[in-house]
Structure 1
């Protein structure tokens, strides 16, 4: 494993940053550099905010989902701190359709070989599923078994024609891949399905129980659940030999036009015609406290903002921090914000930095691929500069990093669609960590013969400061904590946050925010989206697995 080292290369970066902070003749010198802010923004400080968010969830039904009291209390907590620190703070109210699961779901195989499956372990209700209690034969829809060698080989359920000959009233068995889950479920409903079981596709990182969302625009009133590749494959094998009868029960509530908020805070000084934005979604999924997703991003930019104020930093360019609501319902808050901006105000945003999950327990250091050289999806002009700033910073402190695609799964999507340069950091979600990544970042690629994801508690109740108490595999989390020398422990308890990775992310966030806050050069160039970014933006919705 490659440990962090403060080397000569970083000294050069710090020196160049200090030069960049030299004032123009119209502005007093700013006696800080990136190293000062980095030293102030610590993992301990971020963890204290995560502790507060955990307390909020504990006091509000174990969730901080948008539209719930837990989300409102999260906004209150951050707003109070920012107001006291001297920021110009506003709430932006908007509405969305909220989703609540009223009772535990039920899934059983009636025949052959009856089996009752364990909710939240073997299967999960898809967010925005309708309600229903159905017992019916299962019918497979265009499955690819064995699975292809790469993700999205399967197009199961993506076309209406996949359901040609489907027997109305049956429960559809479809496979993850290629299109949004809502498309698969809607096509099944149109074909007369009484329920839908979506199983994971089968490649490494696509085997675990699928915790999917259909998005708040989904309106079909039928039960939709996600399950693992192993269970889906078993059901498909049984179907090949004869009839399989399943029993599905979901009881859900979708409330229309629920109010929630974005929270926006801006420095009282700095050029407002070249605003630097940093954002993170504040909401959790309904299942839990959302401490890694996305308490970590929210707490990291909060601590950055507070330490900038504490150090008396007066940026050349105004810095605007944003905490987005209803991300888990489909990136609604950030899209609402960008859509609400007059064109002139959009043009004043120099760039957007996105931080969604920056403390995954089995982390890797992912940097959004702004220049498109890794994934072929380029961001708007200037996004390449953001990518290089982050990757150069990690290299300078002796830490590995690697690109991740602009695939539309987080709040940068609205910004790149509007032609605003964007970038950011991510430490991994449901994907499986590779053996090569273990060499670079530590951790585990396998445990008890099974692949290990970057965050084994992604979108589950165990995404908390006490994951084992909230249902996580105790032996796995003990092994992860041991692999990282205790980096998951917080106040004597193994948490769902890796403080070693979080510390590096905190350094990178502080470095980027301050560098762009103080730069005298333009980043965004033409401020026009590249054809590939405009073409790709919006294909996926939300980090909560729309496809």
Structure 2
């Protein structure tokens, strides 16, 4: 592998030699690809050609995929998601990248609930087991977060549990341990209930979610009559695809991997979560074709993030030690355009949350902090490495990690409103995992700032990894970092300084 001191010298020379004006935005990338003497990438030149209009144009394309799908979403195994990853593959191929599909299998489920012959609309929870249990429907006491809430009558029956306070997984596990043959969780807010149990557990029994009104109706009926419930839940494994694209040039033994997930939840089109990260990488990739890089740039577009980080985990865990060693740094971008945004940077050095990334992660955090503070004069806050986004599998294998985030359902604090504007006491994204996560509700100002910050990182590390302070890459260096494996309740997305970015566990 190349010495970092040599790379730094190359970078210094290039900075002096290429101080001219930025090239025009690429409209016909194939023309640039045939050039043999492209300029070495420079941060200011790459950032300058990134346009809000291009981000929005691609957002409307993804929104169209969702709105042409039953349910108006881009959830895995839907036409909307298939159209998304096929679009990404073609886009990256048309722009001259080496592109491949990375196939893996993920679980999909269907389910129904019938109570005394009446069909109740129900949605199976992610990680529920299959089964066709039938039994007496029994309302659980209180809110089902304690073993004592489950009466003896639950044994052999179907537990009816109100959503709230503790994770779905905890309720499903307690129901199974109490002898229930099935679990029905009903919503505590208006609308149907989608949810995840986070990971498989042998104590789980077939588990579905139903709406608040359906649940309230069943509770009312149980006050005066005995009811029999029948569930029919089928879980099957189907193929889905990550899209992996890499520059043709650059040192392929020193790779910057940048990633974003491509799937949405069932409830909405997922334009912030995570069309925003996907599209930012697509537009950067397009404009990067006007330049060359010393190090190879790889783009990972992950599938099945919303059902347990499956795509990124399968990809990272499937790499041999030799292939893994080629990835010098992984940067993750999930939710970049929250309406009531903050600019959050992963806490690579662990100074805010006492969970640091592998060696090199602190330097990646510093690069983003310095960029926002010194280059564009914007405030930032840290967000914790808690293994609940697509960086997790890479960090677990010792790859340095970093990234950006603008917040999910947690409410903005008054202190953050001073730093970033917006409304205190209101969620960063009131449309998180909902039907309103569409183009009209994106904060395009935050989105373009984050996209330019990513471009700065791509340009910097495309020239040299010297600032990571790793010296020459070696496997032993990566093995120094150990992080606790997240529990079932820890499946979701990342914390920010005021609390969870996405829920610590779905409740």
Q: Sort the TM-score into its range (normalised by shorter chain).
A: 0.7 to 0.9
Match of residue 290 from structure 1: 270
Aligned pair partner of 2:348 in 367, 370, 377: 370
Residue number among 306, 322, 328 corresponding to 2:306 in the alignment: 328
Q: 3-state DSSP class of the match of 2:441?
A: coil
C-alpha displacement at 1:138, in angstroms?
A: 2.9
- Deviation of residue 518 (structure 1)? 0.9
Is the contact made by 1:198 and 1:224 (CA closer than 8 Å) also made in structure 2?
yes
Q: Secondary structure at the match of 2:90?
A: helix
Give the TM-score taking structure 1 as reference length: 0.72
Cα deviations by residue, 1:338-378 (Å, 9 ceiling, x for unpaired): 11111111111101000001001111111111111111111
2:193 is equivalent to residue 214 of structure 1: no
Aligned to 1:11: none
- Return the match for 2:481 from 530, 534, 545: 530
Match of residue 57 from structure 2: 48
Displacement of 1:190 in angstroms is 2.4
Give the conservation status (yes or no) of the 8 Å contact 1:358–1:425: yes
| Distance of aligned partners of 1:409 and 1:125 in 2 relative to their CA distance in 1, 3 Å threshold | same
Match of 2:330 in 1: 352
Tell me the equivalent position of 1:195: 183
> Is structure 2 residue 466 aligned with structure 1 residue 540?
no
1: CA distance, partners of 2:13 / 2:402: 21
Distance 1:308 1:540, change over 3 A: same
Give the structure 2 partner of residue 455 of structure 1.
429
From the superposition, tell whether residues 509 and 106 of structure 1 become closer, same or farther in structure 2 (CA, over 3 Å). farther
Q: Tell me, in whole angstroms, the C-alpha distance in 2 between the residues paired with 1:317 and 1:429.
A: 33
Structure 1 CA distance, aligned partners of 2:371 and 2:225? 56
Query: Does structure 2 retain, via aligned residues, the 8 Å contact 1:97–1:254?
Result: no
Deviation at 1:31, TM superposition (A): 4.7
Give the Å deviation of 1:124: 8.4
Q: Distance in 2 between matches of 1:389 and 1:506?
A: 15
8 Å Cα contact 1:316-1:517 kept in structure 2: yes
User: What SS does the aligned partner of 1:223 have?
Assistant: strand
| Aligned match of 2:392 | 413
Q: 1:394 to 1:354 in 2, by over 3 A?
A: same
Residues 75-100 of structure 1 deviation map (CA, whole Å, 9 limit, x = unaligned):
11111111111100000111010145
Q: Counterpart of 2:140 in 1: which secondary structure?
A: strand
Residue 352 of structure 2 contacts residue 382 of structure 2 at CA under 8 Å; is this kept in 1? yes
Gapped runs of 5+ residues in structure 2? 1-8, 18-35, 471-476, 494-501
Q: Which residue of 2 aligns with 1:181?
A: 168
Q: Which runs of 5+ in 1 are unaligned?
A: 1-15, 108-116, 144-155, 201-205, 447-451, 466-494
Q: How many residues align?
A: 450
Q: Give the alignment's TM-score, normalised by structure 2.
A: 0.77
Cα separation, partners in 2 of 1:461 and 1:439, compared to 1, 3 Å: same
- Structure 2 distance, partners of 1:527, 1:355, is 22
Match of 1:342 among 286, 311, 320: 320
Structure 1, 67-76 or 380-389: larger mean CA deviation = 67-76
Q: 1:274 aligns with which of 246, 254, 277?
A: 254
Distance 1:207 1:408 in 2: 31
Instruction: Report the alpha carbon displacement of residue 18 of structure 1 after superposing the two structures with TM.
Output: 7.1
Give yes or no for the alignment of 1:516 onto 2:461. Answer: yes
The change in CA–CA distance for 1:133 and 1:167 in structure 2 (over 3 A counts) is closer
Q: Contact 1:63 / 1:286 at 8 angstroms: preserved in 2?
A: yes
Q: Structure 1 CA distance, aligned partners of 2:314 and 2:224?
A: 45
- The CA deviation at 1:44 is 2.1
Find the aligned partners of 2:163 and 2:394 in 1 and give their Cα distance.
33
Structure 1 Cα separation of the partners of residues 353 and 227 of structure 2: 41
Partner residue of 2:401 out of 409, 422, 436 = 422
The answer to whether 1:138 aligns with 2:139 is: yes
CA contact (8 A) 2:46 2:288 kept: yes
The separation in 2 between residues aligned to 1:273 and 1:398, in whole angstroms, is 35
